[in-house]
Amino acid sequence: MTIKEFMEMIWASEKMFIVLPDGNTGFIESVRCKFGTDLEAMIEVCGELKTFSCEELFVGGAEIV
């Protein structure tokens, strides 16, 4: 999967589960534009909302399930 395909997929993935690079799973609450071509995702992990750069998620090997 290319970074463009990953960004398109995560943009349309609100309310879906994601396996994070550290092995934890989370629930994608929202996705928004950050800057340039990067997006930012708010992901609920263990009951806590955390912000992630989608580019870093791609590089780390995150998977949307």
Domain borders along the chain are 3-64
- 52 - beta bridge partners? 41
Hey, is 57 helix, strand or coil? helix
Q: In the prediction, which pLDDT does 2 show?
A: 93
Q: In the prediction, which pLDDT does 17 show?
A: 95
- 31 - beta bridge partners? 41
pTM of the predicted model as reported, rounded to 2 decimal places: 0.86
Q: In the prediction, which pLDDT does 36 show?
A: 77
Low-confidence stretches of the chain (pLDDT < 70) are none
Q: In the prediction, which pLDDT does 55 show?
A: 92
Per-residue DSSP letter, 25: E
